[in-house]
Structure 1
Amino acid sequence: MIRSLKEEIYKFIHQKNSLYGLVALVLLMIYSALTSKTNADSLISVFGAIEWIPIILIAIGSAFFAMEYSNNTILLLLYKNSERSKIYIAKFLTILLYGIVLATTSIITALLLSIVLKSRQYNLFTVIAGKTILIQLGLNILGMIIYSLFAVAMSFMLIMLIRVNAVVICIGLAWGFFGTSLSTALMKTLPTISNILKWNPLNMVFISQQLSKPHYYRVSQLSNLQLIMGTLFYSLLFAILGYLLFRRRRV
């Protein structure tokens, strides 16, 4: 397993996609900083990174798996390692580690942007809504990491199911930008079964912000603990479905 993970990490860091993802994240954060008012909320939301990182992971993750089939390297991979579970887990962990790299990069970039833009009316220990900015930032990062696990699992499942990377990316974009709106509209349309509908996977997108902003509970209708448990459940479900599809896929 360790050997497979090392091989996947080596392949990944030597692909341009990993660099493109980092550059895209930084540029998007700079754009957000320059086109919106820089304040405590900007830093807490990591200048939009909490929304962009899962989308980047979906794009990069699906491409990382798809290239094995497009380049026919999956044959060599299966020849060297007949256990598909090890291949799948190694690729999954590689993209998840990349998500942690993206999260770390976003924090550093956000702090640098707050300094460069000279927004000094607050500091990390300023209390807003009963919590310091540092705690709220940490909660957002935690939510982003949990949501990243969800995003990676979903991207692997979708690329095995749909097999077209461009379509997976489009679904990822739609999920990230319209998921909460669609979920809210669905619960309002069918209020009698909202207690069931609130557990739909689209509603899990709220985890990227609700941990630091409890008032989102009124919209998601899930407590922070319920949201965490729901996101982890769907992450596991999508990961298992993705593996089953991968195991059955012909090469």
Structure 2
Amino acid sequence: MGKSLEEEVYKFNHEKISLYGLLVLFFAMLYNIVSGKTIERSNLSYGFGAIEWIPLIIIAVGSAFFAMEYKNRTILTMLYKSTSKLKIYLAKFLVIFLYSIVLTVVAILLTFLFSFLFTSHKYDWLTTINGHSLIFDLLINMLGAIIYSFFITGLSFMLCMLTRNNAVVVCIGIVLAFFGAGFSGALMRSFPEAVSIIKWNPMSMIFISQQLTRTSLISTSHLLDSELIIANIAYGLIFVVFGYYLFKKRRV
């Protein structure tokens, strides 16, 4: 497993998609700043929109990272050199998940930088408001983004194996990011008698990006913070297992 992971890390570091992901994050956060009239405290706590962009970048980069093996036919060499398809699949999964952590750390650093450049020290990172300091809210929201990235990484790999079309995977990711929470909430409002079941649907998992610091969202997601964390991890593991099954059965 260690050798497979080392090879995937080396391969990923030499692919331009990892750099593109960082550039997209940078410009997306910058756009969030220049397109708004004022910078609110919530903008900083959400990393200038980074909590929304990181999952999108992960689903695009993750699916592309796997799809290119089939496009370039390098998957044949990988399967020939390795005795375990599971090691290949898990190594790729770990690389993308670790990349999501890197994106999160970069987003935190950029948030501090942009705050220094654009807010003129308007907000104190350590001042407590409603029981939370600004830096606490930022770090907790970013932790939520990492947990959701585990869900997204598993989903992107599974969809890549299921659809075999990178564009379709990215489109599904965009739909989940921009409409998932709204559709899930509408579904629960439409069928209140089935909320106890509907609240566990995959589209509700995105609430973790904001709910950890906004308890008011519990009335919309109908899930406690602990339930959201467990559900995201559980779904991620389910997607990993199903994705590996499809990978193992896929013809090359």
Q: TM-score, normalised by structure 2?
A: 0.98
What is the match of residue 76 of structure 1?
77
CA distance in structure 2 between the partners assigned to 1:141 and 1:200 by the alignment? 22
Determine if the alignment matches structure 1 residue 138 to structure 2 residue 135. no
Determine if the alignment matches structure 1 residue 157 to structure 2 residue 158. yes
RMSD: 0.8
Please state how far the C-alpha of 1:210 moved relative to its aligned partner. Answer: 0.3
Aligned length: 251
State the Cα deviation string for residues 2-45 of structure 1 (Å, max 9, x = none).
11101001111111111000000000000001112213211100
Please state how far the C-alpha of 1:118 moved relative to its aligned partner. Answer: 3.1
Please state how far the C-alpha of 1:170 moved relative to its aligned partner. Answer: 0.4
State the Cα deviation string for residues 226-245 of structure 1 (Å, max 9, x = none).
11111111011111111111
SS in structure 1 opposite 2:48? helix
CA distance in structure 2 between the partners assigned to 1:25 and 1:117 by the alignment? 17
State the Cα deviation string for residues 122-141 of structure 1 (Å, max 9, x = none).
21112122111111111101
Alignment of 1:70-149 (within 5 A): 70-149=71-150
SS in structure 2 opposite 1:65? helix
Alignment of 1:161-200 (within 5 A): 161-200=162-201
CA distance in structure 2 between the partners assigned to 1:195 and 1:242 by the alignment? 27
Residue 143 of structure 1 contacts residue 207 of structure 1 at CA under 8 Å; is this kept in 2?
Answer: yes
Residue 38 of structure 1 contacts residue 119 of structure 1 at CA under 8 Å; is this kept in 2?
Answer: no
CA distance in structure 1 between the partners assigned to 2:162 and 2:192 by the alignment? 32
Could you tell me which runs of 5 or more consecutive residues in structure 1 were left unpaired when the two chains were aligned.
Answer: none
State the Cα deviation string for residues 137-184 of structure 1 (Å, max 9, x = none).
111011011001011000000000000001100000001110001101
What is the match of residue 31 of structure 2?
31
SS in structure 1 opposite 2:125? coil
What is the match of residue 46 of structure 1?
47
* Residue identity opposite 2:244 in structure 1: Y
CA distance in structure 2 between the partners assigned to 1:13 and 1:123 by the alignment? 37
Determine if the alignment matches structure 1 residue 3 to structure 2 residue 3. yes
State the Cα deviation string for residues 172-223 of structure 1 (Å, max 9, x = none).
0001110001101111111111111001010011000000111110100111
Residue 25 of structure 1 contacts residue 49 of structure 1 at CA under 8 Å; is this kept in 2?
Answer: yes
Q: TM-score, normalised by structure 1?
A: 0.98
Could you tell me which runs of 5 or more consecutive residues in structure 2 were left unpaired when the two chains were aligned.
Answer: none
CA distance in structure 2 between the partners assigned to 1:196 and 1:245 by the alignment? 27
CA distance in structure 2 between the partners assigned to 1:128 and 1:157 by the alignment? 41
Residue 97 of structure 2 contacts residue 149 of structure 2 at CA under 8 Å; is this kept in 1?
Answer: yes
* Residue identity opposite 1:147 in structure 2: Y
CA distance in structure 1 between the partners assigned to 2:47 and 2:35 by the alignment? 14
What is the match of residue 60 of structure 2?
59
State the Cα deviation string for residues 78-100 of structure 1 (Å, max 9, x = none).
00002000000100010011111
CA distance in structure 1 between the partners assigned to 2:114 and 2:150 by the alignment? 27
The range that moved more, 74-83 or 133-142, is 133-142
SS in structure 2 opposite 1:250? coil
What is the match of residue 234 of structure 2?
233
SS in structure 2 opposite 1:47? coil
